[in-house]
Chain A
């Protein structure tokens, strides 16, 4: 039997603990469940808070959009999972709009389950900047497919609380943490290192989002003369298949640019798994 503990770690029958919380730890996402009012057996809601550490800021001045998406995926996925216990979930689509690229921090997130069905869960997410009088930063809708966890037993102390992880002693830039290879142009690659896998052993959805962000920005800079500094805003990601092998390749097409706004189609492939298409989406990239 395998148990997933309150910190998201996975322990097998021999007691080996696999602390696969690296990705959400990197962005230091604190999470806590918002209890329903007494007598209200309504949908699950959770809140989160993440600082905006300097090494995680992007060209817009605030948290890199890929980082914001990672926290949205972590909080929304966990909230959706709690809503379907003892089953669990996997993210299938993320629709996000980022309205503010300059952040003071910390950012406060909220996730509310809108619909919980037999096969899927839909969660709404909002982000505000606590350091800027709760200025609205982003909104998103996350959809998850409901899975049968097989032999895995999911155990959480309720209401769920996970404190903010401490700052990294030796901070690295997101590109380095997410093993995104240096480069430019329409193709960007990510090495699938162990730290990027989630408790199920597949590439974390937030890492896919970070790759999409970085790849779309690089493709825009390469394709649009005089693009200068750019940042991702609106993002649509359809997680089609799990990424198991790697390396992972994001292939971008800049569909068009007008008024400093480029729309980029991003197709992500698992090169080591017959090059299959694993995620497809679009990223809107702004000149900043």
Chain B
């Protein structure tokens, strides 16, 4: 099933198997199952996958709040708080402010059980998995442009169903590492990864930045990308990546083998004269510094 024809069959979002519910005029929730394919080496869901979840929940809210106008994600920040204990992670979003040119949304990511109830640990609610916020730029509707259909009654539910990821998520994109120390990775801008504008989807962009940052910071600490867990992403979307491949570079700010490290990742559309599309602040820690829950 898709929402207003999006995503099409054979799409990354379908393979993540997201389930969404617009709960009120200004709130929504979207969840995805915790599988080994979406987790990093520490056993937690990759922050880029959480960013995708958050982008979708924000988009679901924005589409309803802003109709008939359209929107584009301008910035998105995700900060890991705790480990997901599964079996699902759910992003719960709400509107902070609706302005003339922007909409700001906050989202809390929590672990939920099969029935959608908050997962409990030792009788108490588990810590949130992540906190996120995002800004959408309002794109005024054009007279001849289609409008996103909206359910008349709430709650409205839909699911992005497709296949399932059979590969680790970075291999499914796929991410090709060109130069780990320089944070250079490459991802084709293929329809499998497109948003409704025909450009690489915002959550996928965050995943690429996560991979690039982890590679650069892993190399800087004598490890590798798989040995580095990205704990924070601050994404500024500047332009759409439509042609591809999307190629990254990274500037390491600090990297300590036992501590927190950070980098600035830039993404460029190599097929569009190398246009800068995204700037991302990445923070990370070595896998050994992030405890895996028992």
Q: Which residues of A contact B (CB under 8 A)?
A: 92-93, 95-97, 99-100, 114-115, 119-120, 122, 124, 126, 136-141, 143, 145, 233-234, 236, 238, 240-241, 255-256, 258-259, 261, 263, 265, 277, 280-282, 284, 286
Q: How far is the CA of A234 from the CA of B73 in the complex (A)?
A: 21
Q: Which of B228-258 contact A (CB under 8 A)?
A: 231-232, 234, 236, 238-239, 251-254
**Are B236 and A236 neighbours in the complex by a CB distance under 8 Å?**
no
**Are B260 and A141 neighbours in the complex by a CB distance under 8 Å?**
no
**One of B17-25, B30-38, B129-137, B200-208 contacting the partner:** B129-137
Closest 3 CB pairs of A and B: A99-B253, A95-B234, A99-B254
**Are B96 and A238 neighbours in the complex by a CB distance under 8 Å?**
yes
Among residues of A, the one whose C-beta sits closest to the C-beta of B77 is A236
**Are A115 and B238 neighbours in the complex by a CB distance under 8 Å?**
yes
Q: How far is the CA of A277 from the CA of B231 in the complex (A)?
A: 27
**Are B264 and A122 neighbours in the complex by a CB distance under 8 Å?**
no
Q: How far is the CA of A122 from the CA of B238 in the complex (A)?
A: 8
Among residues of B, the one whose C-beta sits closest to the C-beta of A145 is B101
Q: How far is the CA of A100 from the CA of B137 in the complex (A)?
A: 32
**Are B289 and A259 neighbours in the complex by a CB distance under 8 Å?**
yes
Least CB distance, A69 to chain B, in whole angstroms: 13
**Are A95 and B75 neighbours in the complex by a CB distance under 8 Å?**
yes
Instruction: From B81, B102, B232, B283, give the contact of A145 (CB < 8 A).
Output: B102
**Are A95 and B77 neighbours in the complex by a CB distance under 8 Å?**
yes
**Are A124 and B279 neighbours in the complex by a CB distance under 8 Å?**
yes
**Which residues of B sit under 8 angstroms from A120, Cβ to Cβ?**
74, 101-102, 137
Interface residues on B, range: 35 or more
**Which residues of A sit under 8 angstroms from B254, Cβ to Cβ?**
99-100, 136
Q: Is B195 an interface residue when CB atoms closer than 8 A count as contact?
A: no
Least CB distance, A20 to chain B, in whole angstroms: 25
Known contacts A141-B234, A241-B97, A280-B106; 15 additional CB pairs below 8 A are: A92-B102, A95-B77, A95-B236, A97-B262, A114-B276, A120-B74, A139-B251, A140-B281, A141-B236, A145-B102, A238-B96, A256-B127, A263-B80, A277-B96, A282-B133
Q: How far is the CA of A126 from the CA of B104 in the complex (A)?
A: 25
**Which residues of B sit under 8 angstroms from A263, Cβ to Cβ?**
79-81, 131
**Which residues of A sit under 8 angstroms from B157, Cβ to Cβ?**
none
CB 8 Å contact bits of B258-294 with A (1 = contact, 0 = none): 0011101000000000001001011101000111000
Given A99-B261, A119-B101, A259-B285, A92-B135 contact (CB < 8 Å):
yes
Q: Is B128 an interface residue when CB atoms closer than 8 A count as contact?
A: yes
Q: Is B82 an interface residue when CB atoms closer than 8 A count as contact?
A: yes
**Which residues of A sit under 8 angstroms from B231, Cβ to Cβ?**
261
Given A139-B253, A282-B79, A261-B97 contact (CB < 8 Å):
no
**Which residues of B sit under 8 angstroms from A259, Cβ to Cβ?**
285, 289-291
Instruction: From A114, A138, A145, A282, give the contact of B77 (CB < 8 A).
Output: A282
Instruction: From B74, B232, B238, give the contact of A284 (CB < 8 A).
Output: B232
Q: Which of B108-133 contact A (CB under 8 A)?
A: 108, 127-128, 131, 133
5 A-B residue pairings within 8 Å (CB atoms): A92-B102, A97-B232, A145-B102, A238-B135, A281-B133
**Are A99 and B97 neighbours in the complex by a CB distance under 8 Å?**
no
Least CB distance, B235 to chain A, in whole angstroms: 8
